[in-house]
Chains A and B, each alone.
Chain A
Amino acid sequence: MASGSSIDVLGQFELHPVLGGLGEAVRLSQSPVYMVIACALVLAFLFYGMKPAAVVPGRLQAAAEICYEFVRNLAVDTIGPEGTTFFPFIFALFFFILAGNYLGLIPHSFTFTSHIAVTFALAIMVFVISIIVSLKVQGFKFFAHFMPAGAPVALAPLLVPIEILSFLSRPVSLSIRLFANMVAGHVMFDIFASFVIMLAGLGFIGDVLAVGPIVINIALIGLELLVGVLQAYVFAILTCIYLREAVAH
C-alpha cells in the first residue's frame, strides 16, 4: 500500500475489476465478490453446522445454534412477539455485516462494509422496511409521531421539522457508523504498517523502533475484532429498535 515514502492509506478501498477479462467485461469488482463469499460462508456454516441435526450438538452445531439463538433472543426481546416475523431479516443482516467485517481483517482481502454505498444501501433497506411496517400497522397514526404529545401547538413549526429530521437521520447515522468504523480501522492498520516500512529504511535503530508499530497493529487486530462484532450488533439492534417502534401501536 505504501508506495515509496508516501503513505496511500485509501488505496486499499479502491475497487478494481477482478477475475481478469471476464470480470472486466461484467464490471465485477472485489466488493460483490466478497459479498458472495460472505454469504457463502454464513450459509455453509449454518448448513454444515446443522447437518448432523443431533439432539446433543457437536461443536459446530452448538456454534450454529448459539448464533441462531443469540439473534433470535435479540429480535424477540427487543421487538416483542412480532420479532419472530423479522428474525430472518435481522439474522441475515447481522451475519452479512459480521462476515464482511471479519473477511476484511484477512490480509489482502477487501472490506465491503467500508464503502458508504454498501452500508447506506443496507441502512436504507432497513429504513424503508420500517416505514412500510409502520404504515401497515399504524396507518396514518404513524404521522402523529412527528408531533411530540403534550407540546404547545405554537412550537409545532419548529418541533415537527426537528422530529422529521431526527427520523430521517436514522439511515444516515446507521450507515455512517458502520462505514466510518471500518474505514478508520483499516486506515489505522495501513498507517502503522507503513511506519514499519519507513522505519526499516533507517538501519539498525529503525529495525528496533519498528517493533512498536507492529505491536500496535497486533493490538489493533484485537480491537478490530471487537469493533467488527460490535458494529454488526449495533446495526442489528438498531434495526430491531426501529421495527419495534414500527409495530408498536
Chain B
Amino acid sequence: MTEDRTSFEDRLRAAQTRVAGKQPAEQQPDSEDKSILALAARAGSEMLGGLIAGVLIGWGLDRWFHYRALFLVVFALLGGCAGILNVWRLVKPPGTDERES
C-alpha cells in the first residue's frame, strides 16, 4: 500500500515537472536512438549523404563559375569529411559532446 502511494507520488511529480515544461534530468542527449535497427539504417546513408551533398554543391559551383573541376574536388573532399563527421555524431559515446547543438 505504501509502495503504491510512493509510486503514485513519483508519477504525480513526474507529471507535474512535465507539465511545468521541465524534462526530468535523466534524459540523455542520445536517448533518441531507442531502436538499434533505426541506428543501423541511418549509418550508411549519413555518410553517403555528406558525400553526395558535397559533390552536388561542388558540381553546381563549377557550372556556375565555369571552373573545370576545382570546386567539385574540394567539395567532394569536404563532403566526405562531413559524412564521416555525421557518422561520428551518430555513434559517438554519450558524454563526448563537444557542444550542445
Check B46 against A231 for contact (C-beta < 8 Å).
no
| Cα-based distance from A230 to B87 in the complex (angstroms) | 19
Check A230 against B37 for contact (C-beta < 8 Å).
yes
The interface residues of chain A lying within 8 Å CB-to-CB of B86 are 166, 169, 173
Mark interface residues in A229-244 (1 if CB within 8 Å of B CB, else 0).
0110110011011001
Within 8 A of B (CB), among A72-88: 77-78, 80-81
Check B101 against A248 for contact (C-beta < 8 Å).
yes
Check A176 against B99 for contact (C-beta < 8 Å).
no
Within 8 A of B (CB), among A204-249: 230-231, 233-234, 237-238, 240-241, 244-245, 248
Within 8 A of A (CB), among B7-65: 18, 21, 23, 31-32, 35, 37-38, 41-42, 45-46, 48-50, 52-54, 56-57
CB of A119 to closest CB in B, whole Å = 11
Mark interface residues in A149-185 (1 if CB within 8 Å of B CB, else 0).
1100000000001110110111011101100110000
Interface residues on B, range: 20 to 34
Check A168 against B57 for contact (C-beta < 8 Å).
yes
Instruction: Identify the interface centre among A145, A165, A177: most chain B CB within 10 Å of its CB.
Output: A165
| Cα-based distance from A150 to B96 in the complex (angstroms) | 13
The interface residues of chain A lying within 8 Å CB-to-CB of B41 are 177, 181, 230-231, 234
Q: Could you list 18 further interchain pairs (A-B, Cβ under 8 angstroms) beyond the known A162-B78, A166-B85?
A: A145-B101, A148-B98, A150-B99, A161-B78, A162-B85, A165-B54, A165-B82, A166-B82, A169-B53, A169-B82, A169-B86, A170-B49, A173-B42, A176-B49, A177-B41, A177-B42, A230-B35, A233-B38
Using CB atoms and an 8 Å cutoff, list the residues of chain A in contact with chain B. Answer: 77-78, 80-81, 145, 148-150, 161-163, 165-166, 168-170, 172-174, 176-177, 180-181, 230-231, 233-234, 237-238, 240-241, 244-245, 248
